[in-house]
Chains A and B, each alone.
Chain A
Amino acid sequence: MIEHAYLIPLIPFAASLIMMFGAKEDPHSPVAWIGIGAMTICLGLSVSILAAAAGGQIPLPYEHNWHWFSFAASIGGKSFLYDMPIGVLIDGPAAVLLVVVTLVSLMVQIYSVAYMHEDTRYKRYFAFVSFFTASMLGLVVSSNILVGFMSWELMGLSSYLLIGFWFEKDGPTEAQKKAFMTTKLGDSGLYLALLFIFAKVGSFQITQIHQFINNGYMTGTVATVIAIGILFGAMGKSAQFPLFIWLPDAMEGPTPGSALIHAATMVAAGIFVVARLYFIFLAAPDAMLVAAWIGCITAFMAAAMALVSYDIKRVLAFSTVSQLGFMMCALGVGGYTSGLFHLTTHAFFKALLFLGAGSVIHSVHTNDMRLMGGLSKKMPITFVTMGAAILAIAGIPGTSGYYSKDMILANIYYANQPIFWIMLGTALMTAFYMSRLFILTFWGDDRDHEKHHHAHESPFLITGPLVLLAFLSLVSGYMLNRDDLVYRLLAKPTISAQAPAGHAPVHAEAASADAHAAPALSAAAAEHAEGGAHHEGHLPHWLHLALPFLVLGSIGLAFTLYKGPRYALADGLKSTFAPAFHLLDRRWFLDDAFDLLVVFCDKVAAVAFWIDANVVDRVFVDGWGLLTRVFAEISNLIDALFVDRTVDGFGGLSLDLGVGLRGLVKEGQVQEYLMYVAIAFSLAATLILTR
């Protein structure tokens, strides 16, 4: 099946085109099932690839390239022929992510059939979702980072379209612009990194770049610059500090679309690209450290903001940012496997959380958690499935989040203690704010009787995906962690300064052999191999035992503060620590900071414009023009006075001479003519002969 992997992005792409251009707009159109059918086929393909890879029937990575185009260029007098193939590269992370993306997208689409059923732009919504998924799948399978970048940008476009789906309102329009421009800011970094890669390596093929580094051709500085550029792109796409400002606003889009953005596509792309080009980071320890700190700061700041928000979708958005911070931090400290593991498990429970929140919003028609409460009786399935997701994201032992988050924390613990304690606190905050969301929404008694009265359980098309995702949220961690499957599938790439080593060794033993042979370049690889990946995946025993109790304590705290319809205790805290709440409510003033930055840039631009108009234009451009004109006038005068007169003088002289000479000749005398001819001829002959 893996040889048909190229179909995985193409099928939903075709489906989106068919839906967009082949169908009429109709709120009850069956067109959505085209997208769902396409995604089902992709899911089947992806699952078969993953199953075969996990079972060891097909060796990974699998790469197959087709000719796309080639071009010649001459650089410094030498001419080079560049070959640009297009192809698929399926390694372990790609195989896992294919299943995650197609599965979440399928669930989202099935869910959306019910959720969007009265929307006037029904088919367009499904076309966008398919297009979005196709872009993400294109990024995942592409063996060529240039094609990956195109998919990356198409994803930016899709997110723009989905966030601003209800463009009649101001909120979505502003949010879509903000998201697009913020992510473009990050993309510029990635773009520069790609240019740098091509300038250095001469290829966009991921395996060739890896080979290039393996051969030790890339210096640490270059690798650091490239890695920082890639990191910047990931900061925009995966909403890392300080570019995460777009993600909370992205909540203006349709809720299933948010689920897609937050679980499977957009935000996963940044992490995935960092993981895909992880070997560059391995060659740049400084960039790794930056990534770790960025992830850490992001995780903490976002979790803090989630503590105080009352908008159910905003809390989830902050939680996404925070969890992405966890992944970035894990990648930064060398926890490749744990970062991608968390990406996988997070996709399931975050999709579930968003779809569950959508179900709630669908039912009570508000985002404000203060108006909810007591919904557990009205919406039992949503209640139970959301509960499963909360357990998973909080990290209750046995759920998927427990395995992946535990592994991340363990990786961080052995790499960087300061970050570890911050991240531990963040993990506890996660448990707290998710429990808070859960309690405010479902627990206790209703606060708004009107809304509560109208609340109802959602139809099967909505609850079905919830149940499946809840199942995956609970067991996917255990399934992947069993027999160290996750270490095999998501094996950390290695780099070595040795001569061609082929593909990255899968086992830590092989990596350690490489590391000993080449101490210079593979410090990170050595670190990875030292204790063996398996050791790093476990916290010290006492912490391992204490962590669940800390999480439970955190959940208990949330219950104490927010139970009951009035949650007076929490309000009391809020008035005690009003400045801190205000800071978090205003999102750390980051939006204001960016506003100030934009205003400042605008001022700078205005000054620059004034200088351009008044100094550059006046003095240089106009002055130069004037000077040129003066010179031209002088030149014209010289031409008229001297050059032209000389020419005219010679002309007149010749004329006068001719007329004068003609007066000498007696006209009509043939012998006289002949005499002049003879004289002229003998003169000429004399001149020539005596020369």
Chain B
Amino acid sequence: MTAPLTLSHYMIVAGLLFLIGVFGALTRRNIIGILMSIELMFNAANINLVAFDRFLHPEGVTGQALALFVMTVAAAEIVVGLALLLAIYRGTDTVYAEDFNLLKG
């Protein structure tokens, strides 16, 4: 007999996913890896959105629709991010984050 899935389960999963994302963003040297980790954090937030919507307002689909919008915006953002990365690579011949310190004060 299995216990039914509660909101906490979803939140634990989302929290783990978010921590993995944070860990990746802090440790990856490659900017592409960092971008992917950020995507993971996005998705953790998305899971929260959908889960809250399901458990707190089960009658509607507002949260799920919002999650779809977030994914769309994230996709658009990743496009911009990859475009910037490409520009940086062309200028500096590197994709490692520690080599970018142009904005250093």
Interface residues of A (CB under 8 A from B): 667-671, 674-675, 678
Further pairs besides A670-B100, A671-B25: 5, Cβ < 8 Å: A667-B101, A668-B103, A671-B97, A674-B25, A675-B26
Contacts of A671 in B (CB 8 A): 25-27, 34, 97-98
Across the interface, B26 reaches (CB within 8 A) one of A667, A668, A678, namely A678
Contact at A670–B97, with CB atoms within 8 Å? Answer: yes
B105 interface residue per 8 A CB criterion: yes
Bound-state Cα–Cα, A678 to B27, Å: 13
- 21 residue pairs from A and B, CB less than 8 Å apart: A667-B101, A667-B104, A667-B105, A668-B100, A668-B101, A668-B103, A668-B104, A669-B101, A670-B97, A670-B100, A671-B25, A671-B26, A671-B27, A671-B34, A671-B97, A671-B98, A674-B25, A674-B26, A675-B26, A678-B22, A678-B26
Contacts of A670 in B (CB 8 A): 97, 100
Bound-state Cα–Cα, A267 to B26, Å: 111
In the complex, the chain B residue whose C-beta lies closest to that of A662 is: B105
Q: Mark B1-41, 1 if CB is under 8 A from A, else 0.
A: 00000000000000000000010011100000010000000
Which of A669, A670, A675, A678 counts the most chain B CB atoms within 10 A? A670
In the complex, the chain B residue whose C-beta lies closest to that of A678 is: B22
Contacts of A668 in B (CB 8 A): 100-101, 103-104
**B36-68 residues at the A interface, CB under 8 angstroms:** none
How would you classify the secondary structure of chain A's contact residues: helix, strand, loop or mixed?
Answer: helix
Contacts of B104 in A (CB 8 A): 667-668
Across the interface, B98 reaches (CB within 8 A) one of A669, A674, A678, namely A669
Q: How many residues does chain B have at the interface if contact means C-beta atoms less than 8 Å apart?
A: 12
Bound-state Cα–Cα, A671 to B34, Å: 9
A663 to chain B, nearest CB (A): 14
Bound-state Cα–Cα, A667 to B101, Å: 8
Bound-state Cα–Cα, A575 to B34, Å: 139
Contacts of B101 in A (CB 8 A): 667-669
In the complex, the chain A residue whose C-beta lies closest to that of B27 is: A671
Contacts of A669 in B (CB 8 A): 97-98, 101
**B79-105 residues at the A interface, CB under 8 angstroms:** 97-98, 100-101, 103-105
In the complex, the chain A residue whose C-beta lies closest to that of B102 is: A668
B42 to chain A, nearest CB (A): 15
A676 to chain B, nearest CB (A): 10
Contacts of B34 in A (CB 8 A): 671
A136 to chain B, nearest CB (A): 95
A298 to chain B, nearest CB (A): 104
B48 to chain A, nearest CB (A): 15
A529 to chain B, nearest CB (A): 100
B26 to chain A, nearest CB (A): 5
Bound-state Cα–Cα, A248 to B34, Å: 118
In the complex, the chain B residue whose C-beta lies closest to that of A670 is: B97
Bound-state Cα–Cα, A447 to B55, Å: 136
Bound-state Cα–Cα, A667 to B103, Å: 10
Contacts of B26 in A (CB 8 A): 671, 674-675, 678
Contacts of B27 in A (CB 8 A): 671
Which of A667, A668, A669, A675 counts the most chain B CB atoms within 10 A? A668
B88 to chain A, nearest CB (A): 12
Bound-state Cα–Cα, A228 to B37, Å: 105
B102 to chain A, nearest CB (A): 8
Bound-state Cα–Cα, A668 to B100, Å: 7
B28 to chain A, nearest CB (A): 8
Bound-state Cα–Cα, A674 to B104, Å: 14
Contacts of B105 in A (CB 8 A): 667
Bound-state Cα–Cα, A667 to B104, Å: 6
Bound-state Cα–Cα, A668 to B97, Å: 10
A204 to chain B, nearest CB (A): 79
Bound-state Cα–Cα, A101 to B97, Å: 116
Closest 4 CB pairs of A and B: A668-B101, A668-B104, A667-B104, A675-B26
Bound-state Cα–Cα, A124 to B41, Å: 106
In the complex, the chain A residue whose C-beta lies closest to that of B34 is: A671
Contacts of A675 in B (CB 8 A): 26
Contacts of A674 in B (CB 8 A): 25-26
Contacts of A667 in B (CB 8 A): 101, 104-105
B21 to chain A, nearest CB (A): 11
Bound-state Cα–Cα, A316 to B17, Å: 124
A669 to chain B, nearest CB (A): 6
A69 to chain B, nearest CB (A): 71
Contacts of B100 in A (CB 8 A): 668, 670
Bound-state Cα–Cα, A303 to B101, Å: 122
B31 to chain A, nearest CB (A): 9
B76 to chain A, nearest CB (A): 21
Bound-state Cα–Cα, A670 to B25, Å: 10
Bound-state Cα–Cα, A671 to B105, Å: 16
